[in-house]
Amino acid sequence: MGLTITEKIFSAHCKKECRAGDVIMAPVDGAMIHDITGPLAINVMKDMGGGSVFDPKKVIMLFDHQIPADSISAAENHVMMRTFAREQGIHNYDIKEGVCHQVVPEKGRVKPGDIVVGSDSHTCAYGALGAFSTGIGSTDMAYVLKFGELYFRVPETIRINANGKFQDRVGPKDLILTLAGDIGADGATYRALEFCGNAFSDMDIPGRMTCANMAIEMGAKAGIVPPDEKTWEYLRGRTDCTPFSLASDEDAKFFETRDYDVSKINPKIAVPHNVDNVVDVTEVAGKPVDQVFIGSCTNGRYEDFARAAEVLGDNVFSEDVRVIMVPASKAEYMKVLKAGLIEKFVEAGALVEAPCCGPCMGGAFGLLAPGEVSLSTSNRNFRGRQGSAESFVYLSSPETAAASAITGVITDPREV
């Protein structure tokens, strides 16, 4: 019987055949730590005897959640991590580059076939580039920092066959929200999702990142798009790896296969307070919103802002809505700027902020008061996620967010 992509990646790293269900130790090709979970990982590594990290070139450090430091304790964490980076010879992107799950692929720190771990649950995002990447806890990260390997249970794979063409103003975020609603928040626990079909082969890399990013919202360890020419094109100039083929064998054993015709997918909304509480936008259209956030590692790339700008057209945003836009990285910010979209959005009434996680998890700014409603292009809508435990977060695509920011209520982007 053949092997899945996931089984092939682990087999290559362990230099023996690995099958779903095997518990193995595997070396990692990258380990990402950020300002929230990095300090604990470093302190536990020191408790384990400290010493040198396994390979400073494979440790990725950056600050993105509480930046610039929004408290004395955050500033102290940053200082502690900067000191560790200097002592260990680790390159620290500091507060300058943006959100971890945009910076890691953007800087060529992951490539197809890699195993990359990060002390952040959305590390599965790099599956968009054909890697097995997954979030781990800070104490596991301490072990990885010291030894460069970690134990894994090789996950079974759920294959998603998505074919067809999206309707206008419907796209990758609506597809991944559809999957979250169908599979459920724990429906893929400890499985790997594999994204196949021409909906993915036609999809650009940012769209694939949106989908892979949210694999964890179904409990999945990974969300992998088999590498193709688009993958290698994206990596050209970012890494020195030469293209190779990596795909599941046709006779590989899948835990489950699900088929989707994306032309039938309508704009979707995840309704508070669960990501798998997904409905067609028409079911909640007309609901007033107080704040619209376009950004995060899920939908903070130039392509996401271009989608929003296309819907905005010559309109302005509603006077009753606070529109907060945060590109996911410096590089993405510059693309949005050079395309004249910062000016367009500011003229329309938006507040455009420097790259960071921002309102996504109620961090440094953009917090909601009790009773307030946010429509967000991020990936989580748990109670209290963006502020008061009495506030409400709805999740959507950039297109739906832009349409709703114009009207002041949740709006089907196909109707503006």
Ligand X SMILES: CC(C)[C@H](C(=O)O)[C@@H](O)C(=O)O
* Sole window of 50-58, 116-124, 261-269, 347-355 interacting with ligand X (rule: CB under 6 A): 116-124
Binding mask 352-371 for ligand X (x = CB under 6 A): ---------x----------
Residue number, 94 or 280, with CB nearest to ligand X:
94
Of 13, 111, 122, 169, the residue at the interface with ligand X (CB under 6 A) is 122
Q: Of these partners, ligand SF4, ligand X, none, which one is at the site of residue 36 (CB under 5 to 8 Å by kind)?
A: ligand X
8 Å CB contact between 188 and 218: yes
Burial (Cβ within 10 Å: 0-12, 13-18, ≥19) of residue 345: buried
Quote the least distance from Cβ 122 to ligand X, whole Å: 5
Residue 230, H or E segment: helix 229-235
8 Å CB contact between 263 and 166: yes
Q: Of these partners, ligand X, ligand SF4, none, which one is at the site of residue 269 (CB under 5 to 8 Å by kind)?
A: none
Binding mask 25-64 for ligand X (x = CB under 6 A): -----------xx---------------------------
Structure token pair of residue 195: 């994204």
Q: Of these partners, ligand X, ligand SF4, none, which one is at the site of residue 37 (CB under 5 to 8 Å by kind)?
A: ligand X
The residue sitting closest to ligand X, measured at its beta carbon, is: 121
Quote the least distance from Cβ 100 to ligand SF4, whole Å: 6
Among 331, 363, 5, 297, CA closest to 124: 297
CA distances from 101 to 265, 297, 319 (A): 26, 6, 33
Residue number, 135 or 181, with CB nearest to ligand X:
135
Residues numbered 124-153 forming contacts with ligand X, rule: CB under 6 A: 135
Beta strands in 4-154 (DSSP E): 23-27, 30-33, 59-61, 115-118, 132-135, 149-153
Alpha-carbon distance of 50 to 416, in angstroms, equals 58
Residue number, 379 or 404, with CB nearest to ligand SF4:
379
Burial (Cβ within 10 Å: 0-12, 13-18, ≥19) of residue 386: buried
Q: Of these partners, ligand SF4, ligand X, none, which one is at the site of residue 397 (CB under 5 to 8 Å by kind)?
A: none
- φ/ψ bin of 133: left (φ > 0), alpha (ψ from -120 to 50), beta (otherwise): beta
Name the phi and psi angles at 33, rounded to 5. Answer: -130, 145
8 Å CB contact between 37 and 119: yes
Of 29, 97, 120, 303, the residue at the interface with ligand X (CB under 6 A) is 120
Quote the least distance from Cβ 113 to ligand SF4, whole Å: 24
Name the phi and psi angles at 401, rounded to 5. Answer: -60, -45
CB atoms < 10 A from the CB of 111, how many? 23
Side chain identity, residue 98: G
- Residue 360 annotated as part of some ligand binding site: yes
Q: Does 121 bind ligand X (CB under 6 A)?
A: yes
Quote the least distance from Cβ 389 to ligand SF4, whole Å: 18
* Sole window of 114-122, 156-164, 229-237, 286-294 interacting with ligand X (rule: CB under 6 A): 114-122
Q: Total binding residues for ligand X by CB under 6 A?
A: 8
Residue number, 98 or 267, with CB nearest to ligand X:
98
Side chain identity, residue 338: K
Sign of the Cα torsion 166, 198, 310, 387 reads: positive
Alpha-carbon distance of 338 to 358, in angstroms, equals 22
Of 8, 13, 65, 307, the residue at the interface with ligand X (CB under 6 A) is 65
Residue number, 99 or 275, with CB nearest to ligand SF4:
99
Residues at the contact surface with ligand SF4, assessed by CB under 6 A: 65, 99-101, 120, 122, 296-297, 357, 360-361, 378-379
Quote the least distance from Cβ 246 to ligand X, whole Å: 27
Residues belonging to the binding site are 297, 357, 360
Residues belonging to the binding site for [4Fe-4S] cluster are 297, 357, 360
Footprint on this chain of ligand X (rule: CB under 6 A): 36-37, 65, 120-122, 135, 361
